[in-house]
Structure 1
Protein backbone atom coordinates (compact mmCIF):
# COMPACT_ATOMS: atom_id res chain seq x y z
CA UNK A 1 0.00 0.00 0.00
CA UNK A 2 1.22 3.50 -0.87
CA UNK A 3 1.11 6.12 1.89
CA UNK A 4 1.18 9.83 1.04
CA UNK A 5 3.45 11.98 3.22
CA UNK A 6 2.55 15.65 3.54
CA UNK A 7 5.60 17.88 4.01
CA UNK A 8 4.60 21.51 4.72
CA UNK A 9 7.52 23.61 3.52
CA UNK A 10 8.61 27.23 3.75
CA UNK A 11 12.18 27.84 2.54
CA UNK A 12 13.39 24.29 3.16
CA UNK A 13 15.63 23.89 0.09
CA UNK A 14 18.63 23.08 2.28
CA UNK A 15 16.91 20.36 4.29
CA UNK A 16 14.75 18.71 1.64
CA UNK A 17 17.45 16.57 -0.04
CA UNK A 18 18.18 14.80 3.27
CA UNK A 19 14.48 14.40 4.03
CA UNK A 20 13.42 13.15 0.60
CA UNK A 21 16.40 10.81 0.18
CA UNK A 22 15.35 9.06 3.41
CA UNK A 23 11.74 8.51 2.41
CA UNK A 24 10.98 4.78 2.87
CA UNK A 25 9.70 2.63 -0.01
CA UNK A 26 5.94 2.93 -0.36
CA UNK A 27 5.85 6.42 1.15
CA UNK A 28 5.11 9.10 -1.48
CA UNK A 29 6.22 12.66 -0.57
CA UNK A 30 3.96 15.66 -1.23
CA UNK A 31 5.87 18.89 -0.64
CA UNK A 32 3.49 21.77 0.01
CA UNK A 33 5.23 25.04 -0.81
CA UNK A 34 3.84 27.77 1.42
CA UNK A 35 5.37 30.76 -0.36
CA UNK A 36 9.08 29.91 -0.34
CA UNK A 37 11.57 32.43 -1.70
CA UNK A 38 14.39 29.90 -2.04
CA UNK A 39 14.67 26.83 -4.33
CA UNK A 40 12.28 24.66 -2.30
CA UNK A 41 10.10 23.85 -5.33
CA UNK A 42 12.98 23.04 -7.66
CA UNK A 43 14.74 20.87 -5.07
CA UNK A 44 11.55 18.99 -4.24
CA UNK A 45 10.85 18.18 -7.89
CA UNK A 46 14.47 17.21 -8.53
CA UNK A 47 14.15 14.63 -5.75
CA UNK A 48 10.95 13.14 -7.13
CA UNK A 49 8.37 14.76 -4.84
CA UNK A 50 4.96 15.95 -5.92
CA UNK A 51 4.72 19.70 -5.34
CA UNK A 52 1.58 21.52 -4.25
CA UNK A 53 1.51 25.29 -3.92
CA UNK A 54 -0.51 26.84 -1.11
CA UNK A 55 -0.53 30.66 -1.23
CA UNK A 56 -2.37 31.07 2.08
CA UNK A 57 0.35 31.37 4.67
CA UNK A 58 0.12 29.15 7.72
CA UNK A 59 1.27 25.73 8.89
CA UNK A 60 -2.30 24.45 8.96
CA UNK A 61 -3.03 25.84 5.52
CA UNK A 62 -0.06 23.92 4.11
CA UNK A 63 -0.97 20.72 5.95
CA UNK A 64 -4.58 20.83 4.78
CA UNK A 65 -3.60 21.58 1.19
CA UNK A 66 -1.41 18.47 1.24
CA UNK A 67 -4.20 16.42 2.77
CA UNK A 68 -6.60 17.53 0.03
CA UNK A 69 -4.02 16.74 -2.66
CA UNK A 70 -3.30 13.26 -1.28
CA UNK A 71 -4.95 10.25 -2.88
CA UNK A 72 -3.68 7.40 -0.69
CA UNK A 73 -5.96 5.74 1.84
CA UNK A 74 -3.53 6.55 4.67
CA UNK A 75 -1.77 9.91 4.97
CA UNK A 76 1.21 10.81 7.13
CA UNK A 77 2.58 14.22 8.07
CA UNK A 78 6.21 15.10 8.67
CA UNK A 79 8.22 18.29 9.08
CA UNK A 80 10.45 19.12 6.11
CA UNK A 81 13.32 20.65 8.09
CA UNK A 82 15.21 17.45 8.89
CA UNK A 83 14.28 17.42 12.57
CA UNK A 84 12.32 14.19 12.07
CA UNK A 85 13.73 11.21 10.19
CA UNK A 86 11.34 9.94 7.49
CA UNK A 87 12.73 6.43 8.07
CA UNK A 88 10.62 6.40 11.23
CA UNK A 89 7.38 6.83 9.27
CA UNK A 90 6.66 3.07 9.04
CA UNK A 91 6.54 2.83 12.85
CA UNK A 92 4.09 5.75 12.94
CA UNK A 93 1.85 4.52 10.13
CA UNK A 94 2.06 0.86 11.19
CA UNK A 95 -0.70 0.87 13.86
CA UNK A 96 -3.09 2.61 11.44
CA UNK A 97 -2.36 0.10 8.68
CA UNK A 98 -2.83 -2.78 11.13
CA UNK A 99 -6.19 -1.43 12.28
CA UNK A 100 -4.88 -0.95 15.83
CA UNK A 101 -5.25 2.85 15.93
CA UNK A 102 -7.09 5.64 14.14
CA UNK A 103 -4.51 8.38 14.73
CA UNK A 104 -0.87 7.83 15.61
CA UNK A 105 1.30 10.67 16.91
CA UNK A 106 5.08 10.61 16.98
CA UNK A 107 6.15 11.48 20.52
CA UNK A 108 9.36 13.45 20.12
CA UNK A 109 12.42 12.26 22.03
CA UNK A 110 15.17 14.87 21.76
CA UNK A 111 18.61 13.64 20.71
CA UNK A 112 20.30 16.63 22.36
CA UNK A 113 19.75 20.06 23.88
CA UNK A 114 19.83 21.77 20.50
CA UNK A 115 16.99 19.59 19.23
CA UNK A 116 14.28 20.94 21.48
CA UNK A 117 14.92 24.16 23.45
CA UNK A 118 13.56 24.39 26.99
CA UNK A 119 11.00 27.09 26.15
CA UNK A 120 9.51 24.97 23.37
CA UNK A 121 9.49 21.80 25.46
CA UNK A 122 7.71 23.54 28.33
CA UNK A 123 5.11 25.07 26.04
CA UNK A 124 4.40 21.69 24.52
CA UNK A 125 4.11 20.04 27.94
CA UNK A 126 1.55 22.59 29.13
CA UNK A 127 -0.56 22.12 26.02
CA UNK A 128 -0.39 18.32 26.24
CA UNK A 129 -1.47 18.43 29.88
CA UNK A 130 -4.40 20.73 29.04
CA UNK A 131 -5.37 18.44 26.17
CA UNK A 132 -5.34 15.38 28.44
CA UNK A 133 -7.56 17.16 30.96
CA UNK A 134 -10.12 18.34 28.41
CA UNK A 135 -10.32 15.28 26.17
CA UNK A 136 -9.10 12.33 28.21
CA UNK A 137 -6.69 11.38 25.41
CA UNK A 138 -3.40 10.23 26.93
CA UNK A 139 -0.93 12.23 24.84
CA UNK A 140 2.34 13.73 26.00
CA UNK A 141 3.34 15.55 22.82
CA UNK A 142 1.59 17.58 20.11
CA UNK A 143 4.15 16.35 17.61
CA UNK A 144 4.05 17.01 13.85
CA UNK A 145 4.82 13.44 12.70
CA UNK A 146 1.52 11.54 12.56
CA UNK A 147 -0.63 9.24 10.44
CA UNK A 148 -4.33 8.54 9.90
CA UNK A 149 -6.94 7.71 7.25
CA UNK A 150 -7.23 10.46 4.65
CA UNK A 151 -11.02 10.32 4.37
CA UNK A 152 -11.47 10.26 8.14
CA UNK A 153 -9.19 13.28 8.55
CA UNK A 154 -11.11 15.27 5.94
CA UNK A 155 -14.37 14.37 7.69
CA UNK A 156 -13.11 15.89 10.96
CA UNK A 157 -13.67 19.36 9.53
CA UNK A 158 -10.48 20.91 10.90
CA UNK A 159 -10.77 24.68 10.56
CA UNK A 160 -7.55 26.15 11.93
CA UNK A 161 -5.00 27.13 9.29
CA UNK A 162 -2.21 28.26 11.58
CA UNK A 163 -0.16 26.44 14.23
CA UNK A 164 -3.31 25.19 15.94
CA UNK A 165 -3.94 22.66 13.16
CA UNK A 166 -2.15 19.67 14.80
CA UNK A 167 -3.89 20.28 18.12
CA UNK A 168 -7.33 20.66 16.56
CA UNK A 169 -6.80 17.37 14.75
CA UNK A 170 -6.32 15.57 18.07
CA UNK A 171 -9.23 17.38 19.76
CA UNK A 172 -11.69 16.58 16.99
CA UNK A 173 -10.43 13.01 16.77
CA UNK A 174 -11.04 12.63 20.51
CA UNK A 175 -14.56 14.00 20.10
CA UNK A 176 -15.23 11.29 17.51
CA UNK A 177 -13.96 8.54 19.78
CA UNK A 178 -10.84 7.79 17.75
CA UNK A 179 -8.18 5.49 19.13
CA UNK A 180 -5.22 7.86 19.51
CA UNK A 181 -1.81 6.39 20.36
CA UNK A 182 1.78 7.61 20.52
CA UNK A 183 5.03 6.05 19.35
CA UNK A 184 8.47 7.43 20.18
CA UNK A 185 10.42 9.19 17.41
CA UNK A 186 13.84 10.82 17.58
CA UNK A 187 13.86 14.62 17.40
CA UNK A 188 17.02 16.05 15.87
CA UNK A 189 18.40 19.57 15.32
CA UNK A 190 16.91 20.89 12.09
CA UNK A 191 19.07 21.09 8.96
CA UNK A 192 20.19 24.69 8.44
CA UNK A 193 18.76 27.86 9.92
CA UNK A 194 16.42 28.05 12.88
CA UNK A 195 13.03 26.46 13.44
CA UNK A 196 10.11 28.81 12.78
CA UNK A 197 8.44 27.51 15.95
CA UNK A 198 10.90 26.02 18.44
CA UNK A 199 13.83 28.17 17.31
CA UNK A 200 12.72 31.24 19.24
CA UNK A 201 10.63 32.20 22.24
CA UNK A 202 8.51 34.36 19.92
CA UNK A 203 7.84 31.46 17.56
CA UNK A 204 6.91 29.15 20.41
CA UNK A 205 4.63 31.79 21.94
CA UNK A 206 2.86 32.24 18.60
CA UNK A 207 2.30 28.50 18.27
CA UNK A 208 1.05 28.15 21.86
CA UNK A 209 -1.27 31.13 21.33
CA UNK A 210 -2.76 29.54 18.19
CA UNK A 211 -3.25 26.22 19.97
CA UNK A 212 -4.88 27.82 23.00
CA UNK A 213 -7.25 29.64 20.64
CA UNK A 214 -8.21 26.28 19.14
CA UNK A 215 -8.94 24.81 22.57
CA UNK A 216 -11.10 27.81 23.40
CA UNK A 217 -13.01 27.63 20.14
CA UNK A 218 -13.67 23.92 20.42
CA UNK A 219 -14.97 24.43 23.97
CA UNK A 220 -17.36 27.14 22.74
CA UNK A 221 -18.57 24.91 19.89
CA UNK A 222 -19.74 22.20 22.29
Structure 2
Protein backbone atom coordinates (compact mmCIF):
# COMPACT_ATOMS: atom_id res chain seq x y z
CA UNK A 1 0.00 0.00 0.00
CA UNK A 2 1.33 3.44 -0.96
CA UNK A 3 1.45 6.19 1.63
CA UNK A 4 0.40 8.83 -0.92
CA UNK A 5 -0.79 8.14 -4.46
CA UNK A 6 -1.09 11.03 -6.90
CA UNK A 7 -3.72 10.17 -9.50
CA UNK A 8 -3.64 12.05 -12.80
CA UNK A 9 -6.33 11.21 -15.40
CA UNK A 10 -5.09 12.24 -18.85
CA UNK A 11 -6.35 12.64 -22.38
CA UNK A 12 -4.06 14.46 -24.84
CA UNK A 13 -2.13 16.57 -22.34
CA UNK A 14 1.33 16.52 -23.95
CA UNK A 15 1.71 20.28 -23.46
CA UNK A 16 1.57 20.06 -19.67
CA UNK A 17 1.84 16.50 -18.36
CA UNK A 18 5.62 16.45 -17.90
CA UNK A 19 5.51 19.58 -15.77
CA UNK A 20 2.60 18.28 -13.69
CA UNK A 21 4.40 15.01 -12.91
CA UNK A 22 7.64 16.83 -12.07
CA UNK A 23 5.81 19.30 -9.81
CA UNK A 24 4.04 16.42 -8.06
CA UNK A 25 7.34 14.63 -7.38
CA UNK A 26 8.85 17.83 -5.99
CA UNK A 27 5.83 18.63 -3.79
CA UNK A 28 5.39 15.05 -2.50
CA UNK A 29 8.69 13.16 -2.71
CA UNK A 30 7.23 10.17 -0.87
CA UNK A 31 4.30 9.80 -3.29
CA UNK A 32 3.85 7.43 -6.21
CA UNK A 33 2.66 9.31 -9.31
CA UNK A 34 0.13 7.44 -11.45
CA UNK A 35 -0.87 8.72 -14.88
CA UNK A 36 -3.94 6.99 -16.29
CA UNK A 37 -4.09 7.50 -20.03
CA UNK A 38 -7.53 7.62 -21.64
CA UNK A 39 -6.77 6.89 -25.32
CA UNK A 40 -4.46 9.84 -25.93
CA UNK A 41 -3.37 10.29 -29.55
CA UNK A 42 -0.39 12.57 -28.79
CA UNK A 43 2.82 12.07 -26.76
CA UNK A 44 1.21 12.23 -23.31
CA UNK A 45 2.29 8.71 -22.30
CA UNK A 46 5.91 9.06 -23.43
CA UNK A 47 6.37 12.40 -21.68
CA UNK A 48 4.72 11.20 -18.46
CA UNK A 49 6.89 8.09 -18.38
CA UNK A 50 9.99 10.20 -19.04
CA UNK A 51 9.08 12.40 -16.05
CA UNK A 52 8.91 9.33 -13.78
CA UNK A 53 5.21 8.50 -13.60
CA UNK A 54 3.73 5.01 -13.43
CA UNK A 55 1.62 4.62 -16.57
CA UNK A 56 -1.68 2.78 -16.62
CA UNK A 57 -4.57 2.77 -19.08
CA UNK A 58 -8.34 3.04 -19.28
CA UNK A 59 -9.77 2.25 -22.72
CA UNK A 60 -13.37 3.34 -22.03
CA UNK A 61 -13.55 7.04 -22.80
CA UNK A 62 -14.60 9.47 -20.07
CA UNK A 63 -13.18 10.87 -16.85
CA UNK A 64 -15.63 8.91 -14.72
CA UNK A 65 -14.44 5.65 -16.30
CA UNK A 66 -10.82 6.59 -15.60
CA UNK A 67 -11.51 7.38 -11.94
CA UNK A 68 -13.43 4.12 -11.51
CA UNK A 69 -10.35 2.18 -12.62
CA UNK A 70 -8.01 4.30 -10.49
CA UNK A 71 -10.05 3.73 -7.35
CA UNK A 72 -10.29 -0.01 -7.99
CA UNK A 73 -6.61 -0.57 -8.69
CA UNK A 74 -4.73 1.72 -6.29
CA UNK A 75 -4.40 1.15 -2.54
CA UNK A 76 -3.03 4.10 -0.57
CA UNK A 77 -3.37 5.82 2.78
CA UNK A 78 -4.02 9.10 0.95
CA UNK A 79 -4.98 9.85 -2.62
CA UNK A 80 -4.35 13.17 -4.38
CA UNK A 81 -6.35 13.60 -7.59
CA UNK A 82 -5.32 16.36 -9.96
CA UNK A 83 -5.89 17.16 -13.63
CA UNK A 84 -3.03 16.90 -16.09
CA UNK A 85 -3.57 20.36 -17.59
CA UNK A 86 -1.37 22.30 -15.13
CA UNK A 87 -4.20 24.54 -13.94
CA UNK A 88 -3.69 23.59 -10.27
CA UNK A 89 -0.43 24.39 -8.42
CA UNK A 90 0.98 21.34 -6.62
CA UNK A 91 2.23 23.48 -3.74
CA UNK A 92 -1.06 22.85 -1.93
CA UNK A 93 -0.83 19.05 -2.20
CA UNK A 94 1.13 18.64 1.04
CA UNK A 95 -1.47 20.57 3.06
CA UNK A 96 -4.27 18.52 1.50
CA UNK A 97 -2.48 15.24 2.20
CA UNK A 98 -1.88 16.24 5.83
CA UNK A 99 -5.60 16.80 6.34
CA UNK A 100 -6.22 13.20 5.28
CA UNK A 101 -3.26 11.61 7.06
CA UNK A 102 -3.24 13.66 10.27
CA UNK A 103 -6.77 15.05 10.61
CA UNK A 104 -8.65 12.02 9.22
CA UNK A 105 -10.48 13.97 6.56
CA UNK A 106 -12.38 11.81 4.06
CA UNK A 107 -12.32 14.33 1.23
CA UNK A 108 -10.39 17.58 0.85
CA UNK A 109 -11.68 19.99 -1.77
CA UNK A 110 -9.20 22.19 -3.63
CA UNK A 111 -11.32 25.34 -3.71
CA UNK A 112 -10.63 27.44 -6.83
CA UNK A 113 -13.72 29.61 -6.63
CA UNK A 114 -12.59 31.42 -3.48
CA UNK A 115 -9.31 32.51 -5.08
CA UNK A 116 -8.34 33.26 -8.69
CA UNK A 117 -10.75 31.16 -10.74
CA UNK A 118 -13.08 33.92 -11.91
CA UNK A 119 -10.15 36.11 -12.95
CA UNK A 120 -8.17 33.38 -14.70
CA UNK A 121 -10.96 31.48 -16.44
CA UNK A 122 -11.84 33.19 -19.72
CA UNK A 123 -15.06 31.21 -20.32
CA UNK A 124 -17.99 33.11 -18.75
CA UNK A 125 -20.43 30.21 -19.11
CA UNK A 126 -18.04 28.00 -17.11
CA UNK A 127 -18.03 30.62 -14.35
CA UNK A 128 -21.81 30.80 -14.33
CA UNK A 129 -22.11 27.01 -14.42
CA UNK A 130 -19.77 26.53 -11.47
CA UNK A 131 -21.77 29.00 -9.37
CA UNK A 132 -25.08 27.40 -10.41
CA UNK A 133 -23.91 23.88 -9.54
CA UNK A 134 -22.44 24.98 -6.20
CA UNK A 135 -25.57 26.84 -5.15
CA UNK A 136 -27.86 24.01 -6.31
CA UNK A 137 -26.08 21.29 -4.36
CA UNK A 138 -25.61 23.39 -1.22
CA UNK A 139 -29.31 24.26 -1.26
CA UNK A 140 -30.62 20.77 -2.01
CA UNK A 141 -28.29 18.93 0.38
CA UNK A 142 -27.87 21.61 3.09
CA UNK A 143 -24.09 21.66 2.67
CA UNK A 144 -21.39 24.32 2.53
CA UNK A 145 -19.03 23.00 -0.15
CA UNK A 146 -17.20 25.91 -1.78
CA UNK A 147 -16.22 24.28 -5.09
CA UNK A 148 -18.20 21.37 -6.49
CA UNK A 149 -16.53 20.95 -9.89
CA UNK A 150 -12.87 21.16 -8.90
CA UNK A 151 -10.59 18.41 -10.20
CA UNK A 152 -8.12 18.94 -7.34
CA UNK A 153 -9.01 16.76 -4.35
CA UNK A 154 -7.56 14.52 -1.69
CA UNK A 155 -9.26 11.36 -0.43
CA UNK A 156 -8.93 8.84 2.35
CA UNK A 157 -8.75 5.09 1.77
CA UNK A 158 -12.20 4.84 3.35
CA UNK A 159 -13.75 7.25 0.85
CA UNK A 160 -12.14 5.68 -2.22
CA UNK A 161 -13.11 2.13 -1.37
CA UNK A 162 -16.69 3.03 -0.43
CA UNK A 163 -17.47 5.34 -3.36
CA UNK A 164 -19.57 3.71 -6.11
CA UNK A 165 -18.55 5.41 -9.37
CA UNK A 166 -21.64 5.61 -11.59
CA UNK A 167 -20.85 8.55 -13.88
CA UNK A 168 -18.86 8.17 -17.08
CA UNK A 169 -17.79 11.76 -17.71
CA UNK A 170 -17.13 15.11 -16.07
CA UNK A 171 -20.18 14.85 -13.81
CA UNK A 172 -18.04 12.58 -11.61
CA UNK A 173 -16.99 15.53 -9.38
CA UNK A 174 -20.63 16.28 -8.61
CA UNK A 175 -21.24 12.65 -7.74
CA UNK A 176 -18.23 12.58 -5.38
CA UNK A 177 -19.40 15.66 -3.54
CA UNK A 178 -22.96 14.44 -3.03
CA UNK A 179 -21.71 11.03 -1.86
CA UNK A 180 -19.52 12.65 0.81
CA UNK A 181 -22.19 15.10 1.99
CA UNK A 182 -25.04 12.57 2.08
CA UNK A 183 -23.02 10.01 4.05
CA UNK A 184 -21.89 12.60 6.60
CA UNK A 185 -18.19 12.20 5.77
CA UNK A 186 -15.61 14.71 6.92
CA UNK A 187 -15.07 17.22 4.11
CA UNK A 188 -12.42 19.92 4.41
CA UNK A 189 -11.67 22.89 2.21
CA UNK A 190 -8.27 24.21 1.07
CA UNK A 191 -8.23 27.39 -0.98
CA UNK A 192 -5.98 26.95 -4.02
CA UNK A 193 -4.93 29.30 -6.78
CA UNK A 194 -6.12 28.53 -10.28
CA UNK A 195 -4.43 29.36 -13.54
CA UNK A 196 -5.95 29.06 -16.98
CA UNK A 197 -4.65 26.49 -19.42
CA UNK A 198 -1.41 27.43 -21.20
CA UNK A 199 -1.57 28.36 -24.86
CA UNK A 200 -2.04 25.30 -27.05
CA UNK A 201 -3.74 23.24 -24.34
CA UNK A 202 -7.41 22.58 -25.08
CA UNK A 203 -10.14 21.84 -22.53
CA UNK A 204 -12.02 18.55 -22.98
CA UNK A 205 -15.07 19.95 -21.16
CA UNK A 206 -17.97 20.95 -23.39
CA UNK A 207 -19.70 23.88 -21.70
CA UNK A 208 -23.22 23.04 -22.82
CA UNK A 209 -23.28 19.24 -23.22
CA UNK A 210 -21.34 18.47 -20.06
CA UNK A 211 -23.15 21.26 -18.21
CA UNK A 212 -26.49 19.62 -18.97
CA UNK A 213 -25.12 16.26 -17.87
CA UNK A 214 -24.00 17.74 -14.55
CA UNK A 215 -27.42 19.33 -13.92
CA UNK A 216 -29.11 16.06 -14.87
CA UNK A 217 -26.82 14.24 -12.41
CA UNK A 218 -27.81 16.65 -9.64
CA UNK A 219 -31.50 16.01 -10.25
CA UNK A 220 -31.05 12.23 -10.43
CA UNK A 221 -29.03 12.17 -7.22
CA UNK A 222 -31.51 14.48 -5.49
CA UNK A 223 -34.23 11.97 -6.37
CA UNK A 224 -32.02 9.08 -5.22
CA UNK A 225 -30.66 10.57 -1.99
CA UNK A 226 -33.62 12.79 -1.00
CA UNK A 227 -36.64 10.86 -2.30
CA UNK A 228 -39.13 12.20 0.26
CA UNK A 229 -38.31 15.82 -0.58
CA UNK A 230 -38.25 15.10 -4.34
CA UNK A 231 -41.61 13.32 -4.44
CA UNK A 232 -43.20 15.82 -2.06
CA UNK A 233 -42.32 18.61 -4.49
CA UNK A 234 -43.72 16.50 -7.33
CA UNK A 235 -46.93 15.89 -5.33
CA UNK A 236 -47.33 19.64 -4.72
CA UNK A 237 -46.95 20.36 -8.43
CA UNK A 238 -49.51 17.70 -9.32
CA UNK A 239 -51.90 19.07 -6.69
CA UNK A 240 -51.58 22.54 -8.19
CA UNK A 241 -52.37 21.15 -11.64
CA UNK A 242 -55.35 19.27 -10.24
CA UNK A 243 -56.59 22.40 -8.46
CA UNK A 244 -56.20 24.42 -11.65
CA UNK A 245 -58.59 22.07 -13.45
CA UNK A 246 -60.94 21.66 -10.48
CA UNK A 247 -61.60 25.30 -9.52
CA UNK A 248 -63.53 26.23 -12.72
CA UNK A 249 -65.66 23.09 -12.32
CA UNK A 250 -66.35 23.97 -8.67
CA UNK A 251 -67.31 27.57 -9.52
CA UNK A 252 -69.73 26.36 -12.19
CA UNK A 253 -71.24 23.86 -9.77
CA UNK A 254 -71.78 26.53 -7.10
CA UNK A 255 -73.55 28.74 -9.64
CA UNK A 256 -75.75 26.15 -11.35
CA UNK A 257 -75.78 23.16 -9.03
CA UNK A 258 -74.65 20.99 -11.95
CA UNK A 259 -71.36 19.56 -13.19
CA UNK A 260 -71.10 20.19 -16.91
CA UNK A 261 -67.50 19.03 -17.38
CA UNK A 262 -67.32 15.49 -16.06
CA UNK A 263 -64.18 14.60 -18.12
CA UNK A 264 -62.33 17.54 -16.51
CA UNK A 265 -63.47 16.42 -13.05
CA UNK A 266 -62.24 12.88 -13.75
CA UNK A 267 -58.85 14.22 -14.86
CA UNK A 268 -58.64 16.21 -11.61
CA UNK A 269 -59.23 13.06 -9.61
CA UNK A 270 -56.58 11.04 -11.44
CA UNK A 271 -53.99 13.83 -11.17
CA UNK A 272 -54.61 14.11 -7.43
CA UNK A 273 -54.34 10.33 -7.08
CA UNK A 274 -50.93 10.59 -8.77
CA UNK A 275 -49.97 13.24 -6.20
CA UNK A 276 -50.98 10.93 -3.34
CA UNK A 277 -49.02 8.07 -4.92
CA UNK A 278 -45.97 10.34 -5.13
CA UNK A 279 -46.11 11.00 -1.40
CA UNK A 280 -46.27 7.27 -0.62
CA UNK A 281 -43.46 6.54 -3.11
CA UNK A 282 -41.31 9.15 -1.35
CA UNK A 283 -42.05 7.63 2.08
CA UNK A 284 -41.21 4.10 0.94
CA UNK A 285 -37.96 5.18 -0.76
CA UNK A 286 -37.03 7.31 2.25
CA UNK A 287 -37.34 4.31 4.58
CA UNK A 288 -35.29 2.19 2.18
CA UNK A 289 -32.67 4.95 2.17
CA UNK A 290 -32.47 4.88 5.96
CA UNK A 291 -31.75 1.15 5.81
CA UNK A 292 -29.12 1.70 3.10
CA UNK A 293 -27.37 4.29 5.28
CA UNK A 294 -27.24 1.82 8.17
CA UNK A 295 -25.80 -0.82 5.85
CA UNK A 296 -23.29 1.73 4.51
CA UNK A 297 -22.02 2.48 8.02
CA UNK A 298 -21.43 -1.24 8.57
CA UNK A 299 -19.65 -1.36 5.19
CA UNK A 300 -17.42 1.55 6.28
CA UNK A 301 -16.54 -0.34 9.44
CA UNK A 302 -15.45 -3.29 7.32
CA UNK A 303 -13.30 -1.05 5.12
CA UNK A 304 -11.72 0.52 8.20
CA UNK A 305 -10.88 -2.88 9.66
CA UNK A 306 -9.32 -3.98 6.35
CA UNK A 307 -7.28 -0.77 6.20
CA UNK A 308 -5.98 -1.21 9.75
CA UNK A 309 -5.14 -4.86 9.05
CA UNK A 310 -3.16 -3.95 5.92
CA UNK A 311 -1.31 -1.18 7.77
CA UNK A 312 -0.41 -3.60 10.56
CA UNK A 313 0.90 -6.15 8.05
CA UNK A 314 2.89 -3.39 6.34
CA UNK A 315 4.53 -2.38 9.63
CA UNK A 316 5.45 -5.98 10.40
CA distance in 1, matches of 2:118, 2:181: 32
Once the two structures are TM-superposed, the CA of residue 140 in structure 1 deviates from its matched residue by: 2.1
Paired residues for 1:91-102 under 5 Å:
91-102=95-106
| 1:121-165 deviation line (CA, Å, top 9, x unaligned) | 110010000110111221121211001113422312121121111
Instruction: Indicate the structure whose relative CO is greater, using CA pairs within 8 Å and at least 6 residues apart.
Output: 1
CA distance in 2, matches of 1:148, 1:187: 20
Q: Could you say which structure has the larger radius of gyration?
A: 2
Aligned to 1:79: 83
Paired residues for 1:168-207 under 5 Å:
168-191=175-198, 192-197=200-205, 203-207=206-210
CA distance in 2, matches of 1:116, 1:6: 26
State yes or no: 1:221 paired with 2:228.
Answer: no
State yes or no: 1:133 paired with 2:134.
Answer: no
Once the two structures are TM-superposed, the CA of residue 5 in structure 1 deviates from its matched residue by: 1.2
| 1:1-48 deviation line (CA, Å, top 9, x unaligned) | 731111110001120111111112123211111110001111111111
Q: Secondary structure at the match of 2:79?
A: strand
Q: Which has the higher helix share?
A: 2
Aligned to 1:61: 65
Once the two structures are TM-superposed, the CA of residue 219 in structure 1 deviates from its matched residue by: 2.3
Once the two structures are TM-superposed, the CA of residue 68 in structure 1 deviates from its matched residue by: 2.1
Q: Secondary structure at the match of 2:8?
A: strand
Unaligned runs of 5+ in 2: 226-316
Aligned to 1:32: 36
CA distance in 2, matches of 1:37, 1:179: 39
Matched residue count: 217
Once the two structures are TM-superposed, the CA of residue 55 in structure 1 deviates from its matched residue by: 0.8
State yes or no: 1:162 paired with 2:163.
Answer: no
Q: Give me the TM-score of the superposition, normalised by structure 1.
A: 0.90
Aligned to 1:212: 215
Q: Give me the TM-score of the superposition, normalised by structure 2.
A: 0.65
Q: Secondary structure at the match of 1:73?
A: strand
Q: Which has the higher strand share?
A: 1
